[in-house]
Amino acid sequence: MTTHSLLSLVEWPSARITGRRRGHNTKALPQRLTRYRGGTYSSTVDEVVFTDGTSARTDLIRLNPSIAAYSLDIAGIAPNLPSGYQVADWLSVANLRARTRETQVAWILANSFPALSTAQLSRRLRAAGYLGEANIKDHEAIAGTQAAIWFLTNGVELDTAARNVPTATRKSPSFIEFEFDERPQLGGFVVRTGAAQGPASVRLHASVNGAVWREVSSSELSFTAGETRYVKALGVGATVAETRHGASDLGYRFYRLYVQGGTAEVEGVDFWLHDARNHRNADRVVQLYRYLLERSSIAAGQVEHSVAIDDSQAVMAAGLMGPFVVDSARPVILSLSEGAKAMDISGAELAGSVNPGTRFYVRPAECIAAVTVSVSDPTAAARVLTGVAQGPLTPLALVLPDAQEVVEFTVEWAEAAELSRVS
């Protein structure tokens, strides 16, 4: 019994093959979306502060029908009336054409809120060492995500400077002096020491100008033998230097920690603030912002070349089309339109996962003039689908948790008899 390969059937083209490609599977996505004016008192509204001192309000943008989105341009304008948005790609947004951050933004959309719930996102942040016990809240997740996207699209940088960390530290034999950039109210401090020999203690003093000092009440902290870490909480108002009507009270710019008695060596001092916010932005917003930018940068560095289908050698004969070659760096999912089949050179049917470089042939269903071949990389980040409107309205990045990077190749052919009529 003689076994024939499919190659023996594909000798001379009996039809002309043409292909049309597209990079996104958007069949289920409406091509026109509507944005309404957001609620003024939405519980998801927040405000973020940037390093240049400017600020911006953040909120999750809701489009009809039921699609969430983020702003892609901090200079864009929100509509006052219901406005239509067209679904487009990354390069359709003017301020993105010269940037190469699409992969990072795509990773952020797929790995932050609302693609992930706040509980899921909090677990990831906690596992990465960015979050304490409390979960991140909706408005914080939105603010951190939007700030990370604006950094990538507009270059505006969130203010992440720690307000509880001194900008300068000076040591003398009897005290350690700390200078802050602002005038914070301290909520307390932690002292780390070497092994204490004999009784010792520290007291905190404060100064507005670094010249006139006063002792902070109830700030004395005693060391005991065998301990190396000491925590001291200060009372409410203990470090208030100036009260202001209609604004937050001011603390001191300079603080000194005086060491008295014993031979304990102070190895480090950490402070926390009275208002429990260690940054100008909410602590969890800063933590999420840093996490998203760090992890998206790593993900972007691991991206291989895009998935494609090579049809340069494909012909059609005896009801078969091919060969087609899968051009990818990892295994991909292969699927065909209804009724069509993919098979390898021996005639074995192919479906599901196929390896890079796989050569395959397509047998279309009867009475069909086109076949769509789709390949998707389930491990790759999706491209960013955008929503654009006419005029200065803010361009949007659509949050589509189930979207995958799908390359579709639609093959059309003309029969030989038709070709002769055309020529």
How far CA 383 is from CA of 363, 399, 407, in Å, comes to 30, 11, 11
Alpha helices in 178-243 (DSSP H): none
How open is the CA angle 43-49-54, to the nearest 5 degrees? 120
Q: What is the pLDDT of residues 141-192, one digit of tens each?
A: 999 999 999 999 999 999 999 889 999 999 998 899 999 988 999 999 999 9
* Mean local confidence (pLDDT), 383-410: 81
Q: What is the pLDDT of residues 259-314, one digit of tens each?
A: 887 656 888 999 999 876 788 899 999 999 999 999 999 887 765 566 778 888 88
Give the integer Cα–Cα distance in Å for 325 and 323: 7
Residue 207 or residue 265, greater confidence: 207
Question: With 70 as the cut, is the pLDDT of residue 12 above it?
Answer: no
In the chain, where the domains are located: 6-25+306-380+404-422, 32-158+281-301, 168-273
Q: What is the pLDDT of residues 342-358, one digit of tens each?
A: 999 888 898 788 898 99
Identify the pLDDT of residue 306.
Answer: 67
Between 71-80, 90-99, 120-129, 251-260, the lowest mean confidence (pLDDT) is in 90-99
Q: What is the pLDDT of residues 211-236, one digit of tens each?
A: 999 999 999 999 887 788 899 999 88
Q: Which amino acid is at 124?
A: R
Identify the pLDDT of residue 419.
Answer: 34
How far CA 207 is from CA of 102, 125, 253, 367, in Å, comes to 49, 38, 7, 88
List residues bridging with 18 in a β-sheet: 412
Identify the pLDDT of residue 55.
Answer: 96
Percent of the chain residues topping a pLDDT of 90: 44
Q: pLDDT confidence of 13, banded at 50, 70, 90? A: very low
Question: With 50 as the cut, is the pLDDT of residue 110 above it?
Answer: yes
Q: pLDDT confidence of 416, banded at 50, 70, 90? A: very low
Question: With 60 as the cut, is the pLDDT of residue 101 above it?
Answer: yes
Structural class in CATH, domain 168-273: mainly beta
How far CA 59 is from CA of 329, 397, 399, in Å, comes to 38, 13, 14
Q: What is the DSSP string of 72-96?
A: S-TT-B--SS-EEEEEE-GGGSGGG
Query: What does R_g of the chain's alpha carbons equal in angstroms?
Result: 31
Q: pLDDT confidence of 104, banded at 50, 70, 90? A: very high
Question: With 80 as the cut, is the pLDDT of residue 103 above it?
Answer: yes
**pTM across the whole model:** 0.67
Question: With 60 as the cut, is the pLDDT of residue 1 above it?
Answer: no
Identify the pLDDT of residue 43.
Answer: 84
Q: pLDDT confidence of 252, banded at 50, 70, 90? A: very high
SS (H, E, C) 43-74: CCCEEEEECCCCEEEECCEEEECCEEEEECCC
Identify the pLDDT of residue 334.
Answer: 87
Identify the pLDDT of residue 340.
Answer: 87
How far CA 202 is from CA of 15, 190, 196, 292, 413, in Å, comes to 91, 11, 13, 40, 86
Identify the pLDDT of residue 423.
Answer: 31
